[in-house]
Structure 1
Amino acid sequence: MTRVDTAEAEQREAGRRDPGSRTWRAGIRRAIRIVFRPGPWKRGPVLAALALLLGLLMLLHAQITDRGGLGSLVETFLPWFGLFIPVLLAGALWRRSASAVAALLLPVTVWLNLFGGLLGDKSHSGGDLTVASHNVGADNPDPAGTARDLAASGADVLALEEITPQSKPLYEKGLARAYPYHTVQGTVGLWSKLPLSDTEPVDIKMDYGPLADTKPVDMKMAYSRALRSTVATDQGPLAVYVAHLGSVRVFPRNGFWTDSRDRGAKALAEAVATEPNERVVLLGDLNGTMDDRAFDGITSQLHSVQDKAGDGFGFSWPTKFPVARIDQILVRGVEPTSAWSLPATGSDHLPVAAGISW
């Protein structure tokens, strides 16, 4: 045994004989850790940084580049960014980080400012007219059943999107008794309990782009995907637009492809801008949420019934687990009294409805 080993053995033996000395050394080490341990304001710098980035992302979402559709993609799912807040809060509490908790005030404030108004029920009784809209789905296995469900909804004015040549006779037959007036233009249609007039298609500049090879031939042939009509009500004429804007997809080469949808939104905004009737309702599958910058031209003229009179976010797609409201009812010159979703049909979209009042 070397001299060093002998000294260490003697120290260990001394420690066993003198437990107070061992306790004293442990106390010294504990005191050193306490002195040099970061305080609550210095813990969790990564969590604090992530909280600030989340808040800035939601606050400055309109400044995000839309190259590759990035801005539209973020804005489509913007409400869901709030789910990161409790995750970061749990991490901050686990780390006992006061700085991270304080930093979370930014995303909480921004999220509540953007979406807090949607959390309560803003509907109220009354209403002169009930309108509804439904993307019935080109692959709907039961168009006749869907027609029966929609006829039982009690809507006075009903808009359908994605009508195929094969399903058109089934919807016309199933809705005939409840709605004596109707018009179908391409893949969109309008059924009404009140007389219709001045019906015409609206050119929304459809371009299937990368989706061209995925669309059935009959869907591409039915080029018209928007219409405008006048509904004769007891309170006067009501201009009704029905639209099904272009699809959006995520492609490896194209990113979040929204070109056709965006062109359609611009054309639709221009059509509404030239509408002489002061009372306007827009119904349809717009393939986007109203937080998306692509709809600024529309939302500057019309307001969403869900924002004014809905209960919650009113997500409408997909049916099994709705994550976004892409089926819209927007109005001008009338006041929404309530907004809700109807029960699911054979489509991958939920029908949406609203009561409006003069």
Structure 2
Amino acid sequence: MRTIAALHALLTVVMLVLWLAVGDTPWTALANLATFWWTVPALGLMLVALLRRDGRALALFAVPGLLWLWAYGSAFTGGPVEAAADLRVANFNTFVHAEGEQHVLDLVEETDPDVLVLQEVFPPRQQALELALAGDLPYHHVEQSPGVGGVGVWSRHPITDVRLVDEASQVSRTTFVVTIDVDGRPLQVVPAHLISPCPTCGASILERLELEGDVRRAEIGNALAALSPGTPVVVAGDLNSNERSVAYRRLTAAGFRDPQREVGEGMGFTWPADRRVPALVRIDWILVRDLDPVAAWVDEARGSDHRPVVVDLAFPTQEG
């Protein structure tokens, strides 16, 4: 048992050194994505070591155990707050291989969002949704990217401005910033679908991971550059990255908050959404700036390989 504990502790120390020394690289990307899963066993093993009164094994297992508590412990201490919400935002990767659009309409009917952000919306699905949602979410904007479908925003409130975001690379998906008038208060929304793991984007897995990391970094940078300062923002989408990624950390460094972490319950895993396999990673996010999270949850699987994400938000109270 002490050998296992020593190896687990050594792996953790190596990863911490890599994170501090080189950050998000092709060598750490896969470990970043799976950090929850290679650290969480330490909690149970700490209990076993305690019951066996093996102090050395307990101390060694505490290294990954404490990393898990530091990185993920807060995900299990949050929950909705008692406050009035001004709007509800739902995000959903609608899945290229899903048939029709009924799974999207079911989500809208059951969650009643004020703003709906979608990915993998191919033209036939776009046209069907424009007709079906004309009553509930009459304002919309969609930008298509060849081969991967479009990203779109549907809104209960008027869209007053649309700005395209500069494309970060030839493999990036087109996106934009819409400004929505929410009862006289402007809100910016960015629908994001960052580059996916791409078998044709490099000769080896490390080259692909390096490209994807560089491109996602640039994609987030371009989106941030397109924002108007001082106006509340929602960034929502399939980010193909988790909380250890440079994309997530760049957004949080720019002042974005994570409603799932603050007012959600649990890890909020979103992929894969096949009912026979539990979701294992969280790659679909809604992050906000200059807005207060009230509630957040991952909705049930429905017709896609991703689960939808829903948040309730409030505009900050104006003082003075």
Q: TM-score range by the shorter chain?
A: 0.7 to 0.9
Q: 2:156 aligns to what?
A: 193
Q: 2:318 aligns to what?
A: none
Q: 1:99 aligns to what?
A: 56
User: What is the alpha-carbon distance in structure 2 between the residues aligned to residue 289 and residue 143 of structure 1?
Assistant: 27
Task: Report the count of equivalent residues.
Answer: 301
Q: 2:141 aligns to what?
A: 183
1:131-280 matches, within 5 Å, as 131-186=89-144, 187-208=150-171, 224-234=173-183, 236-248=185-197, 253-255=204-206, 257-258=208-209, 259-260=211-212, 262-278=214-230, 279-280=232-233
**Which amino acid is the alignment partner of residue 168 of structure 2?**
K
**Which amino acid is the alignment partner of residue 197 of structure 2?**
V
Equivalent residue in structure 2 for 1:286, among 239, 245, 268: 239
User: What is the alpha-carbon distance in structure 2 between the residues aligned to residue 309 and residue 67 of structure 1?
Assistant: 27
Native 8 Å contact 2:217 2:246 kept in 1 = no
Q: Deviations over 1:73-108 (max 9, x none)?
A: 111111112233156447747976331122222222
Q: For the pair shown, which has the larger CA radius of gyration, 1 or 2?
A: 1
User: What is the alpha-carbon distance in structure 2 between the residues aligned to residue 225 and residue 298 of structure 1?
Assistant: 19
Q: Alignment partner of 2:111: what SS?
A: coil
Q: 2:68 aligns to what?
A: 111
Unaligned runs of 5+ in 1: 1-43, 209-222
Native 8 Å contact 2:168 2:218 kept in 1 = no
Instruction: List structure 1 runs of 4+ shifted beyond 3 angstroms.
Output: 57-61, 63-68, 86-97, 249-252
1:15-26 matches, within 5 Å, as none
Q: Alignment partner of 1:272: what SS?
A: helix
1:327-338 matches, within 5 Å, as 327-338=284-295
Q: 1:348 aligns to what?
A: 305
Native 8 Å contact 1:240 1:283 kept in 2 = yes
Please state which structure has a larger fraction of its residues in helix: 1
**Which amino acid is the alignment partner of residue 224 of structure 2?**
V
Distance change >3 Å, CA 58–CA 357, structure 1 → 2: farther
Q: Alignment partner of 1:314: what SS?
A: coil
User: What is the alpha-carbon distance in structure 1 between the residues aligned to residue 5 and residue 212 of structure 2?
Assistant: 40
User: What is the alpha-carbon distance in structure 2 between the residues aligned to residue 105 and residue 290 of structure 1?
Assistant: 22
Q: CA deviation at 1:141?
A: 1.6
Native 8 Å contact 1:151 1:175 kept in 2 = no
Native 8 Å contact 1:206 1:264 kept in 2 = no
TM-score w.r.t. the length of structure 2 is: 0.84
Q: Deviations over 1:155-183 (max 9, x none)?
A: 10001111112322122222222111111
Report percent identity of matched pairs. Answer: 30
Instruction: Identify the range of structure 1 (82-91 vs 320-329) with the bigger mean alpha-carbon deviation.
Output: 82-91
Native 8 Å contact 1:156 1:194 kept in 2 = yes
